[in-house]
Amino acid sequence: MDHFDYRDRTLFCEDVPVPELAEKYGTPLYVYSEAALVANLNEVQTAFRDANPVICYSVKANGNLSICRLMGQHGSGFDVTSQGEFQRALKAGPAAAKVVFAGVGKTDSEIEFALKNGVFLFDVESEQELHAIGAVAQKLGVKADVALRVNPDLPPKTHVKTDTSVKGVKFGLDIETIVDVAKGVVGHPGLSVVGLHMHLGSPILKADPYRMGAEKGLGLIKQFRAQGHDIKYLNMGGGFGINYRKDEAKPASAFADVILPVVKESGCQLILEPGRFIVGNAAVLLSRVVFTKSTGGKHYVIQDAAMNDLIRPTLYGSFHRIWPVAPAAGVPVTPDVNGDPDDPQPFREMPNCFKQDVVGPVCESGDYLAKDRPLPGLTRGDLLAVFSAGAYGMTMSSNYNSRCRAAEVLVSGRTHRLIRRRETFADLVACEEDCLT
């Protein structure tokens, strides 16, 4: 991970020693690198600049207002999937920021809110939604700009729970019927079909699915235009993979190589909705060892971050590198990880390490961050870093077991500041106390 490195056997975020952050803010703690966030956004902007793209940061990946504001300050719009995310974008971004509204279940009130607040484009997921947007727009006396989201029915590309363009998922319009749906709203007084949207899933580690999807999209754009729709935008979504293990992911330029030629042929302006690619490797989750335990031939590291703080391993079986913040002498400074996600042996042999399960305090057997993970011997009070935790970490966290959610800190060079305070018990019961009888 860029901007996180070990110096004299201690992990730093930019120029700040990570133990300093744990001491000041406590644990569990999400630590973000501002330099990494900006560099990752810039990598996408640079790779696709020949298409003059509209880059819309995906708020669902991490909606912290300070992070969203940073994105807006560096030229990004926002991709949102709810009114709450839309409100975050409005609060964080410059007034001119473009907001694309996606999601399969937009309510009439959300549609009205979006139209009244200058939504740039709706990504439409179903025929009923298309007509609902048209009806709300007519009621308001406006026309809604929409992009029809197609499910291009591509082969499986990623985890079954995050693959959104295989047949039978809830997302998008079937490629076999989308042309008829578009034909049905030609001349609609409340709708302007101005784009095609295609999000393939996440994280995707190969560029070829984007080439196949974009080529299918090109044919649809031609058919829409033949119907009379003024198609201006090709939205290829997000989903670019990141290095959770080692070097398994592609740079943004690899995706640009297959997408840009199709964009040029289409005559459209490109829209992209990156989230994980920008924020995923810009953060670590810090935790502190509470106890260690051996039972039934298993070794456990019980630390204070749990499935309510980072649910991805429980939800998806996802992999996050985990390593001590200050490895002892004789222990490798970083784990030796195989970058091939399909290899059943992700680790090479490491001295002074043995297999341990990294678990949390939540009362569930599914509360774990890693299983059978080669780690050195650890003791009470040791700090652990869970890497690649910036995307779908804090944003999917919960208060299960009445646990207060973690604090978040943004590091810039040698300085750091709190961007979300740690919750308190008062926060947990604030919505309930007024209802007591």
Judge whether 366 is annotated as a binding position: no
Tokens found for residue 291: 């106890």
Active-site annotation holds for 431:
no
Distances (CA, A) of 341 to 201, 248, 249, 403: 17, 7, 10, 32
Q: Which DSSP string corresponds to 119-164? A: -SEEEE-SHHHHHHHHHHHHHHT--EEEEEEEE--PPP-S-TTTB-
pLDDT tens per residue, range 81-140: 999 999 999 999 888 899 999 999 999 999 999 999 999 999 999 999 999 999 999 999
126 and 196 housed in the same domain = yes
Judge whether 300 is annotated as a binding position: no
353, 363, 404, 435: which one is catalytic? 363
Judge whether 423 is annotated as a binding position: no
Question: CATH number for the domain including 13?
Answer: 2.40.37.10
180 and 302 housed in the same domain = no
Q: Does a structural domain hold residue 115? A: yes
216 and 320 housed in the same domain = no
Q: Does a structural domain hold residue 437? A: no
Judge whether 265 is annotated as a binding position: no
193 and 271 housed in the same domain = yes
pLDDT tens per residue, range 292-341: 999 999 999 999 999 999 999 999 899 999 999 999 999 999 888 887 88
253 and 303 housed in the same domain = no
188 and 334 housed in the same domain = no
Q: Does a structural domain hold residue 201? A: yes
Question: CATH number for the domain including 61?
Answer: 3.20.20.10
- pLDDT of residue 159 exceeding 60, the answer is no
Judge whether 187 is annotated as a binding position: no
25 and 44 housed in the same domain = no
Of 257, 279, 301, the last residue of a domain is: 279
Residue 315 in contact with residue 339, Cβ under 8 Å? Answer: no
128 and 41 housed in the same domain = yes
Judge whether 155 is annotated as a binding position: no
Of 253, 279, 305, the last residue of a domain is: 279
223 and 328 housed in the same domain = no
342 and 413 housed in the same domain = yes
Of 261, 279, 297, the last residue of a domain is: 279
Cα–Cα distance, 123 to 146 (Å, whole number): 6
pTM of the model: 0.95
Domain count of the fold of the chain: 2
Domain limits for position 391: 4-32+281-432
What stretch of H or E contains 182?
Answer: helix 178-183
